[in-house]
Structure formats: structure tokens, C-alpha cells
Amino acid sequence: MAVLEIKKYPEKILKKKASDVTSFDKELQTLIDNMIETMYAAPGVGLAAPQVGVSKRLAVIDISTKDYKFPLLVIVNPVISKKEGTVEFEEGCLSIPEYTAMVKRSEKLVVSALDREGRHIEIEGEGLLSIALQHEIDHLNGILLIDRISQIKREFFKKRYKKSLVTK
């Protein structure tokens, strides 16, 4: 296994809609293992394939904390089939280091997806799991958390981010 390089805003691959996974071959299994290792090394609660430079509909999620163990999820070609309620949460993203913003999302949802072997799975999520699922599925559609905030906040973010790139 290997820790992969995480693509950072404003790299173009992060804005691209990813394509479906069609083959569950050895190459995909290696990519999944490397994504899991990269997510834990970061550390982060989720990582989508475009964030490691692969424009495929695939993400890994682990919302576990010290006190609360949750199974590691591998979702392939996920589709949100139900949404309910609204929740607002301060989110961060491994592709936008040192930035967080309040993002409004659905409180509960159902996601249909495939697992790493290509078997159909259905995930019911609420709270942090629901937020993480929506955040990662957004990545597969080329949407970043800064696309989910107000225009004023986004302009402010862009100015500040450019400045920090210049001074680094």
C-alpha cells in the first residue's frame, strides 16, 4: 500500500465530473487500498478518487472517532436515492487545507452504491455520515465545499487563498 498525493484546490481534476467504475479488477483494488491508507494518514473522514488524481466514481469514508467505531465504507458509483431534512455543519476538505466553512446539507439520506467487489449496497446515513456521504459524492461531481457556500464567502475565500499561494 502507498500514501498517495492529495490534489489541492484549484487543480482542474477536482472540478471534473468523474466517470463510472466499470471494472473491479486488481488495479481498482490497489487504488482502493491506497486511498484508505491516504485517508488515514492525512487524517480525514473521507477521500474521493478525484482527490488522488483518478477521475472515477469511488470514495472511502470512515467517520470513526476514539469513542465511536464505525465501519470503513467503500462506495463505488454512488447514487443518492432519498434525502430528508436539513443540517448545517462546519466542514473541511483535504483538498482545501486550513479552510473550513459552514455547509448546509440533507440531514438524512439513502445511498445506493456498489462495494469494492461490485455488489449492490444501500447505506442509510444521518448526521456526520450523511454529511460525509454528500461531501464525497459532491467530489465525484466536481463540486467542492466552497461551491456550497454563499457567493460573498466564496469571493472572500478566493482572494484569501490566492494571497496565501503568493506568500508561500
**Which residues carry out catalysis?**
136
> Shortest Cβ contact with Ni ion: which residue?
93
**What span, in angstroms and rounded, lies between the C-alpha atoms of 50 and 33?**
15
Regarding 132 and contact with Ni ion (CB under 5 A), the answer is no
Looking at the Cβ atoms of 28 and 146, the one nearer to Ni ion is 146
Whether cis (ω within 30° of 0) applies to the bond prior to 10 is: yes
Cα torsion 130, 88, 49, 113 to 10°: value is 20
Q: Among 67-75, 86-94, 111-119, 156-164, which window interacts with Ni ion (CB under 5 A)?
A: 86-94
Taking the complex as a whole, how short is the minimal distance between the CB of residue 142 and Ni ion, in angstroms? 12
**What span, in angstroms and rounded, lies between the C-alpha atoms of 68 and 64?**
6
Taking the complex as a whole, how short is the minimal distance between the CB of residue 152 and Ni ion, in angstroms? 22
**What span, in angstroms and rounded, lies between the C-alpha atoms of 31 and 56?**
11
Interacting residue with Ni ion among 61, 93, 137, 146 (CB under 5 A): 93
Q: Among 55-63, 70-78, 92-100, 102-110, which window interacts with Ni ion (CB under 5 A)?
A: 92-100
Q: Among 4-12, 58-66, 91-99, 104-112, which window interacts with Ni ion (CB under 5 A)?
A: 91-99
Q: Are strands 120-126 and 87-93 parallel, antiparallel or unpaired?
A: unpaired
Regarding 140 and contact with Ni ion (CB under 5 A), the answer is no
109 - beta bridge partners? 83, 125
> Do 38 and 70 touch, CB atoms closer than 8 A?
no
The site that binds Ni ion (CB under 5 A) totals a number of residues, namely: 1
**What span, in angstroms and rounded, lies between the C-alpha atoms of 111 and 88?**
19
Taking the complex as a whole, how short is the minimal distance between the CB of residue 24 and Ni ion, in angstroms? 24
Taking the complex as a whole, how short is the minimal distance between the CB of residue 110 and Ni ion, in angstroms? 21
Q: Give residues in contact with Ni ion (CB under 5 A).
A: 93
